[in-house]
Structure 1
Amino acid sequence: MIKRVAVMDLGTNTFHLLIAEGSAASYREIAHRQEAVKLGEGGINKGYILPEAYKRGLDTMLKFHEQIQASQVQEVRAIATSALRSSSNGNDFMKEVKAKTGIEIEIINGDQEAGFIYNGVKMSGCLSAKNSLIMDIGGGSVEFILGNADHIIWKQSFEIGAARLMDLFHRTDPIPPASIEALNLYLEDHLFDLFTAVAGHKVDCLIGSSGAFETFAGVIETEKGHTFDLKTIKHYSFDEEELLTQTNKFVQSTHQQRVGNKAIIPVRVDMIVVASLITRFIMHKLDIYNVLMCTNSLKEGVLADMLG
């Protein structure tokens, strides 16, 4: 009998639901939904989920529960990351979800999160024998995984996600030069472990796992007049100049300009600015200009685990 499973990735900005069946090597997607919950909005750096965000999260879980029941799923996993991990009322949220849906939310630590992201990226087939640095920019945390198709060399999660950085540095729009400078100094200070880990290794490419990197690729291709469908793309290779030009445009843009761009999904309209700054910082700091986007991330890594 073919196994049908559901994975929920409950992130700081977005809640994802993926229902699939088959084997890890070749699965069929039954449903894939994402909801802009913005769980960290207004409270991410205070360690508290505000009432409006709490309600959005709960409503989304009720919707997901309905779809899971309608899809006759045999196994369910709901994985929570940075926002629920670090908020004082995250436990209340989990208890309420369990009471109303029966869904048991698992909180994973940053190390487990990085491991699942590696497995998801590996499953897409974009890792090689050469070393890559995988970067997953979430709302609450950013995961870095140094490794290749055979194994992980080093991995770590840093609580410097886009929602946190936005709250700290992107308060006026466009983001002022002084804020960019302060953000870069902050990254310099907080990513010391990353620089140390990478120092002894030759890194062939930077792989951006889903999220902001999908937006970078989508906007670049749409502006060329090309169609860009994430359902048919597993990975995308950036032209260095195009990527740096596009991230620079995002950094200099206003909120209105970004809202007007149909290739940017609403939840990323503002986050894309700090995501652009993190990406540029890593490229320059580590001298890596071969950049790929991979549509797989944590949920596909969990799916691989479930489908064996």
Structure 2
Amino acid sequence: MLEIKKYGAIDIGSNAIRLLIANVIVAEDKEPQFKKSSLVRVPIRLGADAFVKGEISSANIERMVDAMEAFKLLMKVNKVEKYKACATSAMREASNGEMVVTEIQEKTGVKIDIIGGKEEAAIISSTDLNQLIEGDNSYLYVDVGGGSTEFTLFSKGKIVNSKSFKMGTVRLLNNKKAVNKEMFANVEKWIKKNTKDLKRIALIGSGGNINKLFKMSGRSEGKPISFIYLDAQYQFLKKMSYEDRISELSLNPDRADVIIPATKIYLSAMKWSGARKIYVPKIGLSDGIIKSLHYKIL
């Protein structure tokens, strides 16, 4: 007997807000299949509010209300039976974050949970990493967001350590250079300390920017990107103007600036851990939310 369930995941990030609708196909004596039905992305850069002004602006609150209304309608027409909305770094740090959550629920009926960095990392790492982390190899999982980056270290198939750093792409764009330098130094210290005894380490990257870089590489699914290739792309992107990245590379305006600091984070993590390649399995918070809903973890 075949059963198809529909779930929705709303990821309220620092650079954009996403709605993922997925079909979960359940067949007798088989592992459930998770199939993405649709993904809608709205570039509301909440991090530019939270990390600079300390609160979400009234204009962006209005945009969030409109986005949630639209998401609610999309879930209705797609007959989504269950959904979960999670907000991350920008909403965590905004002084009016809880007030925004209350206002959105009152106006739209959409309940939003503001989750911590460790919870965010746990939800993401519950996705399809098993195929990669099996065996004796070690992996540093790096999820780069707009406001924070989550690092999770796997060795022999198990989580060894994890940490969330306030080092995201939108934050790096808005911070002073001295602040960013100190931030990178703290991350370097953590990575070197936790990977010094590990051999044959590789990175696993997630986030919109590494997905875009992977797509630009033309690699086939499952094949890693090398450190040399990523570094060459970084130098190439840095030389281009913001306008050229949009017109010549067809990057979205809200991607064309953050892709530079994101690439730097991945490259730095590879350098400090000694990894020479990075795998990009196309997973993220919204995928983790879908899985968690199905397995009733959330």
TM surpasses 0.5: yes
Give the alignment of 1:130-169 within 5 angstroms: 130-148=137-155, 150-169=157-176
Q: Does the aligned pair in 2 maintain the 1:165–1:183 contact within 8 Å? A: yes
2:278 and 2:86 map into 1 onto residues whose CA distance is 28
Summarize the Cα distance change of 1:52–1:262 in structure 2 as closer, same or farther, 3 Å threshold.
farther
SS for the counterpart of 1:3 is: strand
Q: Deviations over 1:131-174 (max 9, x none)?
A: 110101100100001115732111111111111111015xxxxx
Residue 198 of structure 1, aligned match among 184, 195, 205: 195
Q: Which residue of 1 aligns with 2:109?
A: 102
Q: Which residue of 2 aligns with 1:31?
A: 38
Q: Which residue of 2 aligns with 1:127?
A: 133
Report the residue type matching 1:214 in the other structure: N
Tell me: higher relative CO, structure 1 or 2? Use CA pairs within 8 A at least 6 residues apart.
1
Tell me whether 1:9 sits opposite 2:11 in the alignment. Answer: yes
Q: Which residue of 1 aligns with 2:237?
A: 250
Q: Which residue of 2 aligns with 1:224?
A: none
Aligned length: 287
Q: Which residue of 1 aligns with 2:81?
A: 74
Q: Does the aligned pair in 2 maintain the 1:140–1:163 contact within 8 Å? A: yes
SS for the counterpart of 1:296 is: coil
TM-score by length of 2: 0.88
Report the residue type matching 2:261 in the other structure: V
SS for the counterpart of 2:276 is: coil
Report the residue type matching 1:88 in the other structure: S
SS for the counterpart of 1:302 is: helix
**How many Å apart are 1:248 and its aligned residue?**
1.4
Of 234-243 and 125-134, more deviation after overlay is shown by: 234-243
2:91 and 2:200 map into 1 onto residues whose CA distance is 33
Q: Which residue of 1 aligns with 2:276?
A: 289
Summarize the Cα distance change of 1:241–1:114 in structure 2 as closer, same or farther, 3 Å threshold.
same
1:235 and 1:58 map into 2 onto residues whose CA distance is 38
Summarize the Cα distance change of 1:47–1:195 in structure 2 as closer, same or farther, 3 Å threshold.
farther
Summarize the Cα distance change of 1:192–1:213 in structure 2 as closer, same or farther, 3 Å threshold.
same
2:151 and 2:32 map into 1 onto residues whose CA distance is 24
Summarize the Cα distance change of 1:191–1:62 in structure 2 as closer, same or farther, 3 Å threshold.
farther
Report the residue type matching 1:20 in the other structure: A
Unaligned runs of 5+ in 1: 170-178, 222-227
Q: Which residue of 1 aligns with 2:20?
A: 18
1:57 and 1:234 map into 2 onto residues whose CA distance is 34
1:203 and 1:33 map into 2 onto residues whose CA distance is 37
Residue 207 of structure 1, aligned match among 187, 204, 207: 204
SS for the counterpart of 1:17 is: strand
2:147 and 2:57 map into 1 onto residues whose CA distance is 15
**How many Å apart are 1:127 and its aligned residue?**
2.9
Q: Which residue of 2 aligns with 1:186?
A: 183
Tell me whether 1:220 sits opposite 2:227 in the alignment. Answer: no
**How many Å apart are 1:184 and its aligned residue?**
4.5
**How many Å apart are 1:196 and its aligned residue?**
2.2
Q: What do you get for the CA RMSD once the two structures are aligned?
A: 2.3
Q: Which residue of 1 aligns with 2:291?
A: 304
Unaligned runs of 5+ in 2: none
Report the residue type matching 1:255 in the other structure: Y
Q: Does the aligned pair in 1 maintain the 2:147–2:169 contact within 8 Å? A: yes
